[in-house]
Amino acid sequence: MELIEKLDILADAAKYDVACTSSGIDRAARKGRLGSTLAAGCCHSFSADGRCITLLKVLMTNVCVYDCAYCVNRASNEVPRAAFEPRELAELTIAFYRRNYIEGLFLSSGVLCNPDHTTELMIRTLAILREEHGFRGYIHAKAVPGTSPELIQKLGHLADRMSVNLELPSQKSLRLLAPDKDKQRIIAPMRQIRDGIAEDKDTRALMRRKTTYLQKARPPRKERAFVPAGQSTQMIVGATPESDFQILTLSAALYRTLSLKRVFFSAYLPVNDDARLPGADAVQLNREHRLYQADWLLRFYRFDVGEIVDEEHPFLDTDIDPKANWALNHLDFFPVEVNAAPFEALLRVPGIGVRGAHLIVRARRTTCLRETELRKLGIAYKRARFFITCAGKYAGQGAEFTREGLRARLAAPIEGGAHGRRSAKVTPGQMSLFESVQTPEKLRAAGGGRALGAVRAAKRPPKADRAAPSSRRTAHAGLPGSKDAACAGDGAFGWQRALELGGAGPC
Ligand code: SF4
């Protein structure tokens, strides 16, 4: 199989994995201009210092011995299959990197033969990149549940970020839709990664210390940090009946117990005909969006899950963002005086973000803040004005200060400005760079031949490898291995119990 065909299949197969802050736009090349956004398999992520970086997002293989109901790559689907050889993928990544198409790699995989074999292929790829090419760019690697701890350890020293997908918000749903997986095999590597990161930080702190009572106690050798960018996970939303309350409670438990950097939500998209799955009407992109907003409130705005949703109101309102919804339910808290309110109170005001709250606190030391000053600070005054006073003056006239009156103003699309124009647009589906099939002709048209050139350059093996026998090719014929016995049921909150119990054990 041609390398370009493999890239086409395996970049396309990776698009459903959102655990890398994927985003995309569809902008073709134009004569006289440089670059396009149509090169196969690129997504964007954010580095620790906030830079947006472009990653080659690809699977090692889409051959999989598991049969998860929601997955396009499941064993029972008849789709074109492909697998990269480790050297092939490493050379491709370097070729793209040298041409400045990408700044890193997002590597996931189907389960080829078994988790250990799959992870070994990923380790070999990353070892070629890191050790032979001295690649210092960003690498995000998926850990396949069920991989042995030694291999997770090796992978963690080669990658910057790792993620283990939780897939579904409860053990019951996991058993129904992904019978080959179980929660302990998912949580065990997450726990190992958490402990590995903490241990690595301690070791590094010891190494940095110039004076120590016991010189010999210092770690002897400096090696690559273990998962320095932390770990993340992903959950599918809408394929199973769990509520937002359950999903957010689980997310909060993951942040608390496993120190995750991010929990990603992926709205269910029907790709398979399966009686266990809901139909196309279950696609809930708005719900995914609201969950991300609620997740933001948990991580940066000091909200608790119970303040956003509860057992009586288990679903987020899709017409209004969760922070505005909280404000409407707590009108007795408002209006707050921007020139005097504590930082925590400012964070609760719709239209004032974390950065805005910091700016207000700093600016009001030297000046009295009114509408002009707040607008200059970047506050969304159109929303905030209903909930604040500036030097004692309330500016939310024109709307009744009741839940219904304010809801009518906040739920309406914001008129004017770039945000207003964007908010009116309907997103037709998950954003993707992969909608069109990337044939060599299309790549040539998109990148003026440069993208194809990179693929061809990468396809040429290094001199030492040119005479290598064809036995280097990866075996694609994975057969379902023995399946673990089904876990005992423990209800919709099985995950949380597993997280809080600590220590792997029978479920
Ligand atoms: S393990 Fe499940 S979700 Fe992952 S590639 Fe295989 S079938 Fe898809």
Instruction: Categorize the per-residue pLDDT at 375 as very low, low, confident or very high, splitting at 50, 70 and 90.
Output: very high
Nearest CA to ligand 1 atom 1: 66
> What DSSP string describes 334-391?
--EETTT--HHHHHTSTT--HHHHHHHHHHTTTS---HHHHHHTT--HHHHTTTEEET
464 and 417 co-located in one domain: no
Which of 378, 408, 423 is a domain's end point?
423
CATH code for position 174:
3.20.20
Atom number, ligand 1, closest to the C-alpha of residue 64: 6
Query: Are the CB atoms for 140 and 20 separated by under 8 Å?
Result: yes
Nearest CA to ligand 1 atom 2: 68
74 Cβ inside 6 Å of ligand 1:
yes
Instruction: Categorize the per-residue pLDDT at 476 as very low, low, confident or very high, splitting at 50, 70 and 90.
Output: very low
Q: Which residues of 261-272 are buried (b: 16+ CB within 10 A; e: fewer)?
A: ebbbbbbbbbee
Would residue 312 count as lying in a domain?
A: no
Would residue 128 count as lying in a domain?
A: yes
How many C-beta atoms lie closer than 10 Å to residue 1's C-beta?
12
pLDDT of residue 480: 33
48 and 137 co-located in one domain: yes
Q: Provide the percentage of residues in the chain whose pLDDT is more than 70.
A: 71
Atom number, ligand 1, closest to the C-alpha of residue 65: 6
Mean pLDDT of the chain: 78
Residue with more model confidence, 473 or 340: 340
Torsion of CA 114, 116, 120, 121, to 10 degrees: 20
d(CA 257, CA 500): 7
450 and 403 co-located in one domain: no
3-state class (DSSP) for residue 504: coil
Would residue 286 count as lying in a domain?
A: no
Instruction: Categorize the per-residue pLDDT at 216 as very low, low, confident or very high, splitting at 50, 70 and 90.
Output: low
Would residue 263 count as lying in a domain?
A: yes
**Whether pLDDT at 69 is above 80:** yes
Would residue 314 count as lying in a domain?
A: no
211 and 326 co-located in one domain: no
Q: Provide the percentage of residues in the chain whose pLDDT is more than 90.
A: 50
Residue with more model confidence, 323 or 2: 323
> Helices (H) and strands (E) in the chain — how many of each?
20, 10
Q: Tell me which of 28-37, 242-251, 355-364 is least confident.
A: 28-37
Would residue 507 count as lying in a domain?
A: no
Instruction: Categorize the per-residue pLDDT at 29 as very low, low, confident or very high, splitting at 50, 70 and 90.
Output: low
Q: Which residues contact 347 (CB under 8 A, 6 or more apart)?
A: 301, 302, 354, 357
Q: What is the enclosing helix (H) or strand (E) of 157?
A: helix 149-158
Which of 381, 399, 423 is a domain's end point?
423
102 and 137 co-located in one domain: yes
Would residue 171 count as lying in a domain?
A: yes
pLDDT of residue 183: 87
**Whether pLDDT at 236 is above 60:** yes
25 and 129 co-located in one domain: yes
Would residue 282 count as lying in a domain?
A: no
pLDDT of residue 260: 93
Longest dimension (CA), the chain: 81
216 and 336 co-located in one domain: no
81 and 214 co-located in one domain: yes
111 Cβ inside 6 Å of ligand 1:
yes
Mean pLDDT on 371-375:
94
Is the pTM above the cut of 0.85?
Answer: no
Residue with more model confidence, 186 or 446: 186
Which pair of structure tokens corresponds to residue 75? 């064993």
**Whether pLDDT at 482 is above 90:** no
342 and 440 co-located in one domain: no
Domain assignment of residue 355, given as a range: 322-423
34 and 137 co-located in one domain: yes
Query: Are the CB atoms for 128 and 95 separated by under 8 Å?
Result: no
What is the amino acid identity at position 252? A
What separation in Å is there between the alpha carbon of 87 and the centre of ligand 1? Answer: 23
Partners of 104 in beta bridges: 55, 138
**Whether pLDDT at 461 is above 50:** no
Which pair of structure tokens corresponds to residue 413? 């699309």
Instruction: Categorize the per-residue pLDDT at 99 as very low, low, confident or very high, splitting at 50, 70 and 90.
Output: confident
Counting the structural domains of the chain, the total is 2
